[in-house]
Structures are given as C-alpha cells and as structure tokens.
C-alpha cells in the first residue's frame, strides 16, 4: 500500500497506439482494446444536461465531464488550462468586454455532425435568460451580463458583456447540441434519423452507422438554422419547445431510444446506464481534439456505502473510489494491500441551511410576518449545532489539522481573505454550543417549545447520519425536536418536484468547481421564488438586498481590495441573518487499485475525474 498527499500521483503509462482512419490531423488514439476501468461515486447519473436546474448535480457532472469538450479545465494544482486542441478564445475589446471564441478543431458530435456556432449560440440563449424564460438553467452568473445577442461566424461566437465580468475566462459557451435539442423538441422532424439509428442499433454494421450519420448531418443543417432563427428572431413557439426539451428531455436513468438525448462532444459516449447502479462510457471513435484516453470503457458505479465500495475495490471489482470517509473507513482503506491511498483537503465544505419561506419554524410567516421572532428562532437553533464536536469526532481522525470553518464565501486556504472575513463577521456568536443562550432567545421572543424541525440529509450517507445524530441530541436540549426527513434523491433541489423546499433544515456541501471570485450570488442572492426555475442554488428562500447587491457588484469588480470589501459585506450580512452555518472543510480520501495508474487527487470538483484521459491499465506497461 502507498499513502500519498493530495496532488501526489503517478505518471501515465505508455500504451500501444493506432491512428484513426480518415482523420485530417495527426491524432493518435492510445485506447487499449478491450480495456475497462470501474470507478465509483456515491450517487448515480440521472440527467445529461448538468447546466439545467434539474440536472445540476455532481454525479451528472462527472459523466458530462468525460463526454463533453470545453475550452478549458482545471488541473489539480489547481490552475486553469486552456484546451487549445479544441479551440481558442481571446479578449478582442476591453470596453465593452468582448470575448471571441473559435472552434479550431474538426470537432464533431458523436453522430458526426460538426460542432459549431449554433451550438454555442444555444448555450448563450439557454443560460443567459435574455431570450426566453422557457429555459431553466442552474446558474446564470456571467451569462446574465451578455444581453446583446452574440454575433456568430464559421465556428465562432463573440460575447459582449454589459459590464466587465471578473470571471469571464470560466464561461464555457458549449453545452448540449443545438440539433439534438431541436430533435428532442420536434421528434416528428427527426423521424428519418431515428429510423436510421434504429437500423444501426439492430445491426451494428458500419454501413448502417454511415447511413445514420449522413441522415443526422442532413437533419442538422436545417435544425441548426431553425435554432439560430428562433433565437435571433424571438420565435416564442420554437423557443418554448426548445426550453422544455433542454430542461426535461435530457433526464433519464436508462439509455433513451433517441440518440439525440445522448450526443457527446468529447472523448466518450454513453453506452449504457442503469438507475442508481452504473453508467458505462465507451471511447468515442470520432474524437480527435484532445488528449486520447487509454481505457476503452469506463464504468461509473453508484455506491453510497463506503465500506461496500472498499470491499469491492479489495475484491478486484472496483478500481477507483472516493467518498465522504469516517475514521473507520480510512482504516479499512489503509488496510488494503493492493491500494494507493491519497489524502488531503477538498474545496468543498459542509454546512446547514435553514429554510425561511416554507411556513416552518424559521419562516417569518409562521409568526405573522414577525421577522425578529423568526430570526431569534434561527439564531437559537444555530447556537445548538455542535460544530466543534462534529469536527473533533468525525473529521479530526481523518485530518488532525481540521478546524471549524467560520466563513461562507472563502475557505481558510485563502490566507489573506479568510482572516479578514472571519475577524468580525458574527461567527464568534456560534463558536461554542450555547444551550442556555438558545433557551433565552426563545423565551425573549415568546416562542414556546418543543419546536419541530424537519431535517434533511442524504439517506445512506453514513457521515451525515452521524452529524444528524449529534445535532439532534444537542438541539433537543434547547427544545428543538429534529424530525428525520432523509431521502436519497435530493428532491428539494429539483424545482419541478419542490418549488419550495419542504425541509426546515438541510445539511450538505457546496462543491467548489473553480477558483472564481464571483458567482456566490447564485446561492445567497434574492430571487423570484414564485418562479423557482430562476433561483440558482438558493434552496432556502433567503433574501437580503444588501447581500445581493454586494455579491452582484463583486461579479463585475476587478480590484482586489474592493473585492475583499464586498466579500466582507456579504459575509457579515449572511451571518447576521442566521440562515446558514458552515461546519468543516471536507477531508479528501482517494483510493485506487494497483491495476490502474495515473489517478491523481484533485481539490475541486470533478475530483479525481479531472484527468480521466491519463488513467491507464497496468497490464499495458512496457
């Protein structure tokens, strides 16, 4: 067994290569025939469009990361890496901020249709919110500043910002395909392509695939133009249909009949998926615009129980696993002689949110609109959360240096801003459990106990189950009765199921996907909660106009000191409203078998998937 710190890893092995026939560039495929790696994540794939509010989930994002192409990605330093094999982008004007993107590769979707400007225009229309409210994006930050319809050319798009967006380089103008979305919106027009696909699916013959691809290309030429025309001309009928398809038609837990619902732009395509069990990807034979993967197949199993995952890894049924470990799980991992264990700290943090618009104990409406009374109840509840006990009992055994996190907007890894934001933000009021203080707050507010609190955590998550028990025992001392509302599907995050969060309190983690300065307005800013598809990640109905203003101004502020001031304003405001409380930074645990090399830990999401193309079978060494 080898133990390594975060960001440690092994090199990519050399494998046999072949040149794909018909490629116009000197791309070499390093895919090893009949090779397969089996990895795990604690949830299963269920939505192919992770840019949508319904699909915005890390489990979906992991699959999309391996099947998509973007203009850049983070390595595990972490630092931003431009994907020059695919395309380029540059600032062509500072005032107004204008960025031009160009697809330079002969890149195609997995049906052979070229990836082009229509696809990028659809991404802008869907996420910006400036064309139609039929789309339901998970986040709009950055895109919402691009109100001018972008100019497009041959595989190019030019984005003009109303204000200078500070994180402009992280905007990715490519998502699901334009022609695929049109096909899902108007399936009757896709009938000939569908028939050709069905024939190929039954025969598996290359000739039938060629016929399907040619039919897809013919369809796409018209479909793409209709998408472009609908966006530029404001055709509400077409946009409504596109928006519905964009948000709903990519949701599936078994492979859909229509190939349009699974068109990929990257190194892999989806071969099979089974609900809450696994998703198998197969190397895309058309892919030539990035580093070649080594494994022919990647199967991502959904394994929520860490012990089960490690038993599978030790038995040779699993090759890579990461999860939310406990001290016992770390001990089990370290006892597997055929495994490499990497530990460290992740850029994700645990927190508890209190819902303020569901008619529950933390909602002013429950007290006749009395904001002060609801605030006192929220403050009292937060005073009972045993943050230090949780860290000491659950996290310190995994990371001896672990401490309670006292900021919502930055982590302690930011050695400049974290001390500033935590110096006087109000977190000191919750440094220790204060049962007497909680009881006094409730008494002063005239609120009688017991107070029932519906508390959600992901069912089957051992670590969060432990946290729930510690919180429930502590809160009970002040008169709060926690009701276990755990369920495995995170339904409160899906506005089509729950427009308003039915749970009074939730515990989960914000998984950091980038080093962006802005974007926190997607979580903490005011939204029109009567139109829940626009609420981003604000699942608890929180609204403070001053916090909203500070965070939205942050998005367009480039001066470092001014950014820090805005972060400090927002941080203080969030604490004063007692709607959320951070607990700890995630400890990282990555375990991989000796049958695969190239596995490297990563603090940001998508975690260890970040360099999937470097994973290689050990049998191919030498």
Q: Which of 545, 602, 48 is nearest to 347 (CA)?
A: 602
486 and 413 in a common domain: yes
- 178-185 vs 236-244: helix axis angle to the nearest 10? 100
- Nearest-angstrom CA–CA distance, 324 and 306: 8
- Assign 542 a pLDDT band (cuts: 50, 70, 90): very high
Residue 340 belongs to some domain of the structure: no
409 and 362 in a common domain: yes
90 and 56 in a common domain: no
With 0-12 / 13-18 / 19 or more C-beta atoms within 10 angstroms meaning exposed / middle / buried, residue 419 is exposed
Residue 125 belongs to some domain of the structure: yes
Q: Which of 522, 605, 524, 540 is nearest to 140 (CA)?
A: 522
According to the model, what pLDDT value does residue 534 have?
Answer: 57
104 and 6 in a common domain: no
411 and 292 in a common domain: no
- Assign 8 a pLDDT band (cuts: 50, 70, 90): very low
Task: List, for residues 204-220, the tens digit of each pLDDT value.
Answer: 999 999 999 999 999 99
According to the model, what pLDDT value does residue 490 have?
Answer: 87
290 and 249 in a common domain: no
Ranges 50-59, 183-192, 358-367: which has the least confidence: 50-59
Residue 329 belongs to some domain of the structure: no
- Assign 322 a pLDDT band (cuts: 50, 70, 90): very high
Residue 327 belongs to some domain of the structure: no
According to the model, what pLDDT value does residue 429 have?
Answer: 97
What average pLDDT does the segment 148-160 reach? 98
309 and 206 in a common domain: no
- Assign 531 a pLDDT band (cuts: 50, 70, 90): low
Q: Which of 257, 269, 272 is nearest to 191 (CA)?
A: 257
Number of domains into which the chain is organized: 3
83 and 50 in a common domain: no
Please give the residue range of the domain that contains residue 540: 346-585
Residue 341 belongs to some domain of the structure: no
Query: For residues 610 and 601, is the Cβ–Cβ distance under 8 A?
Result: no
What average pLDDT does the segment 241-260 reach? 97
According to the model, what pLDDT value does residue 533 have?
Answer: 54
Residue 580 belongs to some domain of the structure: yes
550 and 463 in a common domain: yes
According to the model, what pLDDT value does residue 23 have?
Answer: 36
According to the model, what pLDDT value does residue 619 have?
Answer: 72
Task: List, for residues 455-508, the tens digit of each pLDDT value.
Answer: 999 998 889 999 999 999 999 999 999 999 999 888 998 887 898 999 999 999
187 and 290 in a common domain: no
Q: Which of 608, 532, 564 is nearest to 54 (CA)?
A: 532
Residue 333 belongs to some domain of the structure: no
According to the model, what pLDDT value does residue 386 have?
Answer: 98
According to the model, what pLDDT value does residue 151 have?
Answer: 98
Task: Answer whether residue 84 shows pLDDT above 90.
Answer: yes
**274: domain CATH number?**
3.40.190.10
Written as six digits, the tokens of 358 are 């569901």
Q: Which of 513, 518, 529, 506 is nearest to 570 (CA)?
A: 518
């Amino acid at each position: 067994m080898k133990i390594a710190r975060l960001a440690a890893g092994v090199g990519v092995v050399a494998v046999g290569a072949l040149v794909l026939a018909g490629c116009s560039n000197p791309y070499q495929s390093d895919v090893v025939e009949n090779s397969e790696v089996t990895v795990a994540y604690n949830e299963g794939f269920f939505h192919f469009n992770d840019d949508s509010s319904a699909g915005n989930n890390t489990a979906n994002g992991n699959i999309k990361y391996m099947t998509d192409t973007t203009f850049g990605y983070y390595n595990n330093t972490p630092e931003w890496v431009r994907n020059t094999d695919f395309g380029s982008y540059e600032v062509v004007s500072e005032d107004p901020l204008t960025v031009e993107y160009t697809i330079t590769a002969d890149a195609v979707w997995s049906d052979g249709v070229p990836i082009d400007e229509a696809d990028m225009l659809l991404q802008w229309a869907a996420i910006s919110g400036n064309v139609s409210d039929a789309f339901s994006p998970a986040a709009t930050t950055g895109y919402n500043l691009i109100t001018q319809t972008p100019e497009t050319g041959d595989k190019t798009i030019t984005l003009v910002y109303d204000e200078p967006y500070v994180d402009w380089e992280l905007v990715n103008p490519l998502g699901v395909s334009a022609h695929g979305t049109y096909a899902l919106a108007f399936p009757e027009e896709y009938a000939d392509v569908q028939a050709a696909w069905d024939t190929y699916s039954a025969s598996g013959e290359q000739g039938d695939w060629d016929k399907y691809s040619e039919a897809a290309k013919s369809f796409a030429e018209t479909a793409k133009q209709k998408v472009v025309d609908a966006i530029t001309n404001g055709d509400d009928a077409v946009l409504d249909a596109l928006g519905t398809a964009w948000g709903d038609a990519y949701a599936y837990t078994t492979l859909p009949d229509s190939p349009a619902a699974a068109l990929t732009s990257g190194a892999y395509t989806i071969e099979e998926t089974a609900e809450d069990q696994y998703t198998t990807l197969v190397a895309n034979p058309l892919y030539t615009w990035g580093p070649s993967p080594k494994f022919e197949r990647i199967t991502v199993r959904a394994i929520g129980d860490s012990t089960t995952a490690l038993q599978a890894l030790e038995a040779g049924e699993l090759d890579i696993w990461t999860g939310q470990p406990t001290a016992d799980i770390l001990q089990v991992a370290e006892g597997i002689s055929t495994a490499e264990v990497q530990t460290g700290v992740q850029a994700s943090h645990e927190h508890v949110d209190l819902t303020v618009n569901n008619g529950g104990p933390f909602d002013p409406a429950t007290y006749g609109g009395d904001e002060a009374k609801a605030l006192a109840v929220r403050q009292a509840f937060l005073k009972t959360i045993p943050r230090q006990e949780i860290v000491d009992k659950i996290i310190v055994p995994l990371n001896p240096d672990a401490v309670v996190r006292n900021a919502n907007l930055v982590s302690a890894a930011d050695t400049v801003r974290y001390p500033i934001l935590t110096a006087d933000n109000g977190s000191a009021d919750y440094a220790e459990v204060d049962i007497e203080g909680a009881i006094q707050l409730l008494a002063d507010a005239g609120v009688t106990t017991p107070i029932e609190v519906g508390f959600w955590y992901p069912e089957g998550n051992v670590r969060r189950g432990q946290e729930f028990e510690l919180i429930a025992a502590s809160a009970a001392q002040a008169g709060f009765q926690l009701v276990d509302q755990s369920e495995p599907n995170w339904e409160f995050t899906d506005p089509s199921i729950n427009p308003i969060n039915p749970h009074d309190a939730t515990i989960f983690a914000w998984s950091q996907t980038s080093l962006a300065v802005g974007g926190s307005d997607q979580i903490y800013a005011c939204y029109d909660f009567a139109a829940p598809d626009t609420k981003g990640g604000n699942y608890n109905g929180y609204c403070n106009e001053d916090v909203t203003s500070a965070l939205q101004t942050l998005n367009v502020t480039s001066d470092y000191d001014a950014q820090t001031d805005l972060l400090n304003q927002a941080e203080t405001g969030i604490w004063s409203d007692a709607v959320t409380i951070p607990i700890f930074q995630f400890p990282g645990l990555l375990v991989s078998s000796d049958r695969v090399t190239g596995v490297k830990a990563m603090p940001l999401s998508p975690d260890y998937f970040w360099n999937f193309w470097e994973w290689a079978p050990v049998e191919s060494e030498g």
